Chains A and B, each alone.
Chain A
Amino acid sequence: MALLTVQNLSAGYEGKPVASGISFSVSSGDYLTIVGENGSGKTTLMKTVLGLLPPVSGKVELGDGLRKNRIGYVPQQTAGQKGFPASVLEVVLSGCLGKSGLFYSKKEKDLATKQMRRMEILPLQNRAYRELSGGQQKRALLARALCAADSMLLLDEPAAGLDPVVTQEMYEVIQSLNREGVAIVMISHDIQAALIYSKTILHLAEKPLYYGDVFGYKREYFLEGEQHA
């Protein structure tokens, strides 16, 4: 049973599709990278999958215990978060909101501790989020997303704004989560990294150009190109 099934989806704003004809599915253990140029509809697609935008047409279905609107989402940093006064613990705990009542119980606090330990940021829990390095902030956001749902993560450009060493490290953290069984869906510009780490590729340019395993994608788009060169 798939965690996420997208059927013939058109994603867009106010009834005008930005990207259409999209179908894919994600099961436990999958690692899907959605690649494409700016304006190809990647972000719009992800917002639709998250339920932040209504689909223009088609269907987004969540299965296997993933409740609607309860997805582990790792967004890009917004401008407002740069100087935001919040401790790492406060940020990570907010991932438990979908599960908690008005206040956090011990269960949620334990979950937050567990996910911070998993992301190796437990010693930073009382530090100010705004004073962390870019990589540490991403780990905090990953821990927060894992608190919300640890069967599937949706990541929006996880390497944006990180230096090459930290980028590499970030991809390895994500890969280790994937090996532990967390399904990964990622939007990325970084085709090289997508070829190395992901299992499935969806290449989007207002409509899907390619959807399938990473080996087929390499054959179709890269090896041929090299032969011509």
Chain B
Amino acid sequence: MLETLLHYLSFPFVRYALIVGVLIALCSSLLGVVLVLKRLSYIGDSLSHIAFGAMAAATALNLSDNLLLVLPVTIVVSILILYSGGRTKIQGDAALAMLSVGSLAVGYMLFNLFPPKGGNVSGDVCTTLFGSTSILTLTKEEVWLSVILSAAVVILFVIFYHRIFSLTFDEDFARATGMRTGLYQLGMAAVVATVISLAMNLVGSLLISALLVFPALSSMRVFHSFKKVVICSAIFGVSAALLGLLVSILVGTPVGATIVAADMAGFFLFGLIGLFKKGRTA
């Protein structure tokens, strides 16, 4: 088995997939902690549907790099959603449901009206929704872009760690102590959109939420301080992605689904550990 693995690892595209996959999982699991604790997980879900629509449009336009369109569109929508929160006429969650399902429909329509050259429609839709093979077809440029963007996300998260904690725990207090929360929210919206656009490549748009919520929810069951939850979440996310990628390479299962399965297994494991810890202290 090790030999097979080493054989696969000798291909550059497999190494690219592993690098990008791990980085995306790292970013998503960090941001996921904030989204879960701020009760904003559904925004990640909606944004991933928006990204699907944008991806379809990019394919229809025959862009050289789909990220050129997906990234800006997702960022703009993300900022609009987080900024207009509570101020819209239509109820927030209903408006989001409308937006995301509309985007899915339009995206599918575009795929059918402007089928990509040489591709088959259902195959492309499946890839965009569930990731399947796109992680293995990354170009060197795409890999570098992913590396740079992920590094930026991690660095920003570390630099502003204490402010992110304060904003997440108690926004009103953070503002009353002089934090410019609007600015941070803007930054957060942009970063979340960036990570989701990148994660489309790894797990496809329907499975992105898993990368965001599973690591955070699992860590919260075991650990009680913000710092430990963040660190554990990062390790959890990276391990699940690595495990999922390796299994899918060896066994040939779809990448995105395998990663999510690894996340789910981890969640139940952590749930059991949490129960055990509780039982011992009680």
Q: List A96-113 residues whose CB lies under 8 Å from chain B.
A: 97-98, 100, 102-104
State A3–B256 Cα separation when bound (angstroms). Answer: 58
Interface residue ranges, B against A (CB under 8 Å): 37-39, 159-160, 162-163, 165-166, 168-170, 172-179, 219-220, 223-229
Residues from chain A with a CB closer than 8 A to the CB of B178 are 67-70, 97-98
Count residues of chain A with CB under 8 A from any CB of chain B. Answer: 37
Q: Are A103 and B162 in contact (CB under 8 A)?
A: yes
Q: Are A94 and B165 in contact (CB under 8 A)?
A: yes
Choose one: A84, A103, A126, A148; the contact of B37 (CB below 8 Å): A84
The 7 closest A-B CB pairs, nearest first, are A128-B224, A87-B225, A98-B177, A69-B178, A73-B176, A94-B166, A98-B178
State A198–B250 Cα separation when bound (angstroms). Answer: 72
Interface segment out of the listed A25-33, A74-82, A172-180, A202-210: A74-82
Please give me the residue from chain B that is nearest to A154 by CB atom. Answer: B176
Question: Given known contacts A50-B172, A94-B165, what 10 new A-B pairs fall within 8 Å (CB)?
Answer: A69-B177, A70-B177, A70-B178, A75-B173, A84-B37, A87-B225, A87-B227, A90-B165, A94-B174, A102-B160
Choose one: A52, A70, A104, A144; the contact of B172 (CB below 8 Å): A52
State A104–B169 Cα separation when bound (angstroms). Answer: 17
Q: Are B220 and A85 in contact (CB under 8 A)?
A: yes
The verdict on A51 contacting chain B, using a C-beta distance below 8 Å, is yes
The verdict on A95 contacting chain B, using a C-beta distance below 8 Å, is yes
The verdict on A157 contacting chain B, using a C-beta distance below 8 Å, is no
Residues from chain A with a CB closer than 8 A to the CB of B39 are 80
State A75–B169 Cα separation when bound (angstroms). Answer: 12
The verdict on A83 contacting chain B, using a C-beta distance below 8 Å, is yes
State A219–B166 Cα separation when bound (angstroms). Answer: 44
Choose one: A50, A84, A90; the contact of B176 (CB below 8 Å): A50
| Of listed A69, A84, A102, residue having the most chain B CB within 10 A | A84
Please give me the residue from chain A that is nearest to B220 by CB atom. Answer: A85
The verdict on A71 contacting chain B, using a C-beta distance below 8 Å, is yes
State A104–B128 Cα separation when bound (angstroms). Answer: 43
Dominant SS among interface residues on chain A: loop
Residues from chain A with a CB closer than 8 A to the CB of B37 are 80, 84-85
Please give me the residue from chain B that is nearest to A100 by CB atom. Answer: B162
Q: Are B170 and A90 in contact (CB under 8 A)?
A: no
Q: Are A51 and B175 in contact (CB under 8 A)?
A: yes
Residues from chain B with a CB closer than 8 A to the CB of A126 are 225
* Shortest CB distance A121–B (Å): 15
Choose one: A68, A81, A100; the contact of B170 (CB below 8 Å): A81
Q: Are B165 and A69 in contact (CB under 8 A)?
A: no
Contact string, A139-168, partner B, CB cutoff 8 A, digits 1/0? 000001000100000000000000000000
Q: Are B177 and A95 in contact (CB under 8 A)?
A: yes
Please give me the residue from chain B that is nearest to A80 by CB atom. Answer: B39
* Shortest CB distance B130–A (Å): 32
* Shortest CB distance A84–B (Å): 6
Residues from chain A with a CB closer than 8 A to the CB of B169 are 81, 84, 86, 91, 94
* Shortest CB distance A100–B (Å): 7
| Of listed A68, A81, A94, A100, residue having the most chain B CB within 10 A | A94
* Shortest CB distance A218–B (Å): 32
* Shortest CB distance B222–A (Å): 9
Q: Are B176 and A71 in contact (CB under 8 A)?
A: yes
State A104–B224 Cα separation when bound (angstroms). Answer: 21
| Of listed B39, B165, B174, residue having the most chain A CB within 10 A | B165
* Shortest CB distance A16–B (Å): 15
Q: Are B159 and A85 in contact (CB under 8 A)?
A: no
The verdict on A213 contacting chain B, using a C-beta distance below 8 Å, is no
Residues from chain B with a CB closer than 8 A to the CB of A127 are 224
Q: Are B162 and A94 in contact (CB under 8 A)?
A: yes
* Shortest CB distance B47–A (Å): 20
**A85 and B229 in contact, given A97-B163, A103-B162 (Cβ under 8 angstroms):** yes
Please give me the residue from chain B that is nearest to A69 by CB atom. Answer: B178
State A152–B71 Cα separation when bound (angstroms). Answer: 46
